[in-house]
Structure 1
Amino acid sequence: MRADTSLSQSNAEPISLWDHSSEEPAYANPNARESRVDVAIVGGGYTGLSTALHGALKGLSCHVLEAAEIGHGGSGRNVGLVNAGLWLPPQQVEHLLGKTHGGALVRTLGEMPDYVFSLIEHHQIRCEATRAGTIHAAHAASGLRDLEARAAGWQALGAPVRLLSAEETAEKTGTVKFHGGLLDARAGTINPMGYVRGLARAARAAGAEISTQTKVLSLQKDGADWKVETDRGVITAGRVVLATNAYSADLWPKLAQSFTPIHFFQLATAPLGAEASAILPDGQGLWDTGKIMFSLRRDRAGRLIIGSMGSVVGGTAGLSRRWAERKLRRLFPDLGRLDFEDAWHGQIAFTPDHLFRIHRLDEGLYAPVGYNGRGITTGTLFGRALADLFAGAPEESLPLPISDLVPDRGRAVKTQLYRSAFLAKQAAESIL
């Protein structure tokens, strides 16, 4: 018998604020059964569940295999900014990929917030969706020059982005600390765990199978098929997607060597009510132009959620809490007492050029990776594209060409340097 039960995670430690504030309930089904499917998907995040949803809608039998719970990786620890584009400005994407491929990718990513919000609307996903845009805030004069170039690149493509003066930025953020900003009307904010759980619900309704608490142990080619060995049995599949991104481990070791993992941490205050009404009053999410960037947003309950690169140190009572409080007080000196309810971090897959990849690791085995902090739109896009591929579309229709799996040279050294730099900045800003 197939289990199909929605369960709360009341007996498990929440992995983030979003885990316990999501209106979409958690889903648990540890009863994977041996079967043959068209597509086996390793990982229950945005990519895996988008693949399952779009594949099932195209008549493909899909089975998602998640080692923990839906959204347990980066999807449930995300900031929740639904942004258009990549980490890089559009001009640089075209330079790296060429005008044809780069231009097509930039245009597609520019349309993806619309697509994400259309999925939310169509499937009635309860994820606090707010479509007010996002603000890329200039931390210094140099940051404003970068935003001016980004604005010119997007505006040349007809994108609804607008450069904000320092005064306009202050009005929209509630702080005078920024030199200006770039408002992108295409973007918005969501509860990221609510979105990924909603994708799971929609995928199940379309006919996909999802097994949680099911660890994939090995992948073996068997003629035209793949044998996917799990700790609960063997799934036979015509195609396999490794949808693990920054959480790729030893299942396909060379995949994890192709990017540098970094952490991004966040802390959430208690609901602040009217006291914080002047902070991001229109509901935008914000991140800044600093090399070690920070993010800021509100949720529907009135909490402030602030984050930056690095790991949580000391939970809600240690170094990270001091950093968050002092950062908020520098931005908003009139804030009263600040209590912090949640602290967490997630992992991001950084590639050397900040471009993501789609790898064909073997015949019928695909792995998109290297989202560089843009998982919501990118994961949704790659899942849709892989479903199209498996339903008969040519590889040339993928968002970018298939690339070879190349190790990120100096990965170990870079990982340690990043960790040290992030910790040093967190420590310095907690006392200054």
Structure 2
Amino acid sequence: MQEQCLWAVNAIEDAPSTRPLGESIRRDVCVIGGGITGLSTALHLAERGIEVAVLEAGEIPAGGSGRSVGLVNAGLWVPPDDIVKALGQEDGEQANRVLGEAPSRVFELIERYAIQCHSTRTGTLHLGHNRKGCDELARRRDQLASRGAPVELVEGEACERMTGTRQIHAALLDRRAGTVNPAEYTRGLARAALQAGAELYVHSAATGIQREGNAWRVTTAHGSVLAEKVVLATNAYTRDEWNEARKHFFVGNYLQVSSRPLSSEAARAILPDRQGAWDTRTVLSSIRRDSEGRLILGSLGKGEGRPRAYLKCWADRIAQHYFPALGSLEWEYTWSGRVAFTPDHTLRILEPAPGLLTACGYNGRGITTGTVVGIGFAKYLDEKDEGQLPLPIRRRDPVRGRSLWSAAYESGFTLYHAGQCLRVLI
């Protein structure tokens, strides 16, 4: 088992050719972070004729944008009524509306720019692993359906056919959603942004930001960008003290393990319509197959640095529980990515200083949330119109005890996985 991200390995195209920033330049907007949020912002600004430069610390993609499960999900982690309870009626329903339409925005971009990212539009499946989980799915179905979402609770034989397992008795099918190779999608956004006129500088980590007259000076090791507006699009990979985003979330991790390509009849029965899926466990397991037939399992928690035997034991346990007909599997790749969590599981969109924007706390919904945040940022920066943002820009208190939150989450994930390996939990 290699510690390498599958999505970069089986990508159709390489990252677009770019270079580090080696000079001082002036542009209308500087975007810090070349993930989905930053690239979507740059693309939509460039389409409006606004000069924009993107600074990326690594390659495209380097962070969570290319390391996720690849689910193009609608909405947030929590059900829509809970979102309204957390954010209030007006803000909550704006989030439900914009993020409910977010998969369509992603697929529109894929089609418009001919992004080759192995996309599917057959929906996603939320799997009820026990009676309590099935009841929760029914509650979500009712809330989503009341808002006009095309969702369906699939049960019995239909559920077994769609999932390929007898261990799931009900699954919530959301027809708005789908899957992508997230690394390919991110690279496709980068190509589209470059073609629209945006500038993209890789290996150009921002080292600081300071006010200079009516503009902001963003410095790198070998250059700088002077811009009236700056977007901090670093989310879970925010490290620097000067970056305001880091105060508004705590870091979690997500691990994944992929098998070698499978071609048996038992393998073909797993998610035959290629939906991405995840279950209702306290520490969820995600399940999907890629374009070459691999089985990909994931869960909350850190995989990097873990013994291969630990990861194999966990993956074997999940695979044998759900798909015993597969027999023994050879696991080929493992990788992890960071997730920006918030205590209420809702994102934050902030303007910590005039001309300085940031969004963070996507809680595992980065593909769709990052895409529409970028669309909304472009409109706001150009027109001062917040209407396309998932939330209005609000002042929010920083998250207290971020390191304690992170430690508690990771400890809980580790104990849960250990219980699964020891067959205490499943």
TM-score by length of 2: 0.95
Residues 96-148 of structure 1: CA deviation (Å, up to 9, x unaligned): 22222221221111111111011001101010001110000111111111111
**Residues 27 and 69 of structure 1 are in contact (CA less than 8 Å); yes or no, is this contact kept in structure 2?**
no
Residue 336 of structure 2 corresponds to 345
Residue 397 of structure 2 corresponds to 406
| Amino acid in the other structure paired with 2:341 | F
Q: Is it true that 1:241 corresponds to 2:234 in the alignment?
A: no
Q: Is it true that 1:19 corresponds to 2:8 in the alignment?
A: yes
How many residues are matched? Answer: 420
Residue 308 of structure 1 corresponds to 299
| Amino acid in the other structure paired with 2:194 | R
**Alignment partner of 2:418: what SS?**
helix
Q: Is it true that 1:291 corresponds to 2:282 in the alignment?
A: yes
Seen in structure 2, the aligned counterparts of structure 1 residues 163 and 397 have a Cα distance that, compared at 3 Å, is closer
Alignment of 1:28-177 (within 5 A): 28-32=17-21, 33-177=23-167
Residue 7 of structure 1 corresponds to none
**Alignment partner of 1:417: what SS?**
helix
Distance in 1 between residues matched to 2:339 and 2:248, nearest whole Å? 13
**Alignment partner of 1:257: what SS?**
helix
Residue 215 of structure 1 corresponds to 205
Shift of 1:166: 3.8
Shift of 1:313: 5.6
Residues 383-418 of structure 1: CA deviation (Å, up to 9, x unaligned): 011111111133465331222242222322222121
**Residues 323 and 429 of structure 1 are in contact (CA less than 8 Å); yes or no, is this contact kept in structure 2?**
yes
**Alignment partner of 1:216: what SS?**
coil
Residues 328-355 of structure 1: CA deviation (Å, up to 9, x unaligned): 0111111133111110110101101111
Distance in 1 between residues matched to 2:285 and 2:3, nearest whole Å? 23
**Residues 316 and 340 of structure 1 are in contact (CA less than 8 Å); yes or no, is this contact kept in structure 2?**
no
Structure 1 runs, 4 residues or longer, greater than 4 Å off: 313-316
Distance in 2 between residues matched to 1:249 and 1:111, nearest whole Å? 31
Distance in 2 between residues matched to 1:383 and 1:194, nearest whole Å? 18
Farther-moved stretch of structure 1 (74-83 vs 266-275): 266-275
**Alignment partner of 1:273: what SS?**
coil
Shift of 1:157: 1.2
Residues 262-287 of structure 1: CA deviation (Å, up to 9, x unaligned): 10000010000134000001110001
Distance in 1 between residues matched to 2:384 and 2:156, nearest whole Å? 47
| Amino acid in the other structure paired with 2:5 | S
**Alignment partner of 2:325: what SS?**
coil
Distance in 2 between residues matched to 1:366 and 1:207, nearest whole Å? 21
Residue 422 of structure 2 corresponds to 431
Q: Alignment partner for residue 169 of structure 2, among 171, 179, 184?
A: 179
**Residues 80 and 190 of structure 1 are in contact (CA less than 8 Å); yes or no, is this contact kept in structure 2?**
yes
| Amino acid in the other structure paired with 1:226 | W
Farther-moved stretch of structure 1 (383-392 vs 92-101): 92-101
Distance in 1 between residues matched to 2:27 and 2:231, nearest whole Å? 12
Distance in 2 between residues matched to 1:398 and 1:81, nearest whole Å? 21
**Residues 372 and 388 of structure 2 are in contact (CA less than 8 Å); yes or no, is this contact kept in structure 1?**
no
Q: Is it true that 1:334 corresponds to 2:325 in the alignment?
A: yes
Unaligned runs of 5+ in 2: none
**Alignment partner of 1:329: what SS?**
helix
| Amino acid in the other structure paired with 2:393 | I
Shift of 1:257: 2.9
Seen in structure 2, the aligned counterparts of structure 1 residues 31 and 314 have a Cα distance that, compared at 3 Å, is closer
Residue 245 of structure 2 corresponds to 255
Distance in 2 between residues matched to 1:362 and 1:248, nearest whole Å? 18
**Residues 42 and 243 of structure 1 are in contact (CA less than 8 Å); yes or no, is this contact kept in structure 2?**
yes
Percent identical across equivalent pairs?
Answer: 45
Distance in 2 between residues matched to 1:316 and 1:338, nearest whole Å? 18
Q: Is it true that 1:364 corresponds to 2:331 in the alignment?
A: no
TM-score by length of 1: 0.94
**Residues 167 and 180 of structure 1 are in contact (CA less than 8 Å); yes or no, is this contact kept in structure 2?**
no
Seen in structure 2, the aligned counterparts of structure 1 residues 313 and 357 have a Cα distance that, compared at 3 Å, is closer
Alignment of 1:373-384 (within 5 A): 373-384=364-375
Q: Alignment partner for residue 255 of structure 2, among 265, 270, 277?
A: 265
| Amino acid in the other structure paired with 1:23 | I
Unaligned runs of 5+ in 1: 1-12
Distance in 2 between residues matched to 1:52 and 1:91, nearest whole Å? 33
**Alignment partner of 2:296: what SS?**
strand
**Alignment partner of 1:318: what SS?**
helix
> What root-mean-square deviation, in Å, do the aligned CA atoms of Structure 1 and Structure 2 show?
1.6
Distance in 1 between residues matched to 2:260 and 2:388, nearest whole Å? 46
Distance in 2 between residues matched to 1:75 and 1:237, nearest whole Å? 25
**Residues 304 and 335 of structure 2 are in contact (CA less than 8 Å); yes or no, is this contact kept in structure 1?**
no
Distance in 2 between residues matched to 1:191 and 1:139, nearest whole Å? 26
**Residues 39 and 239 of structure 1 are in contact (CA less than 8 Å); yes or no, is this contact kept in structure 2?**
yes
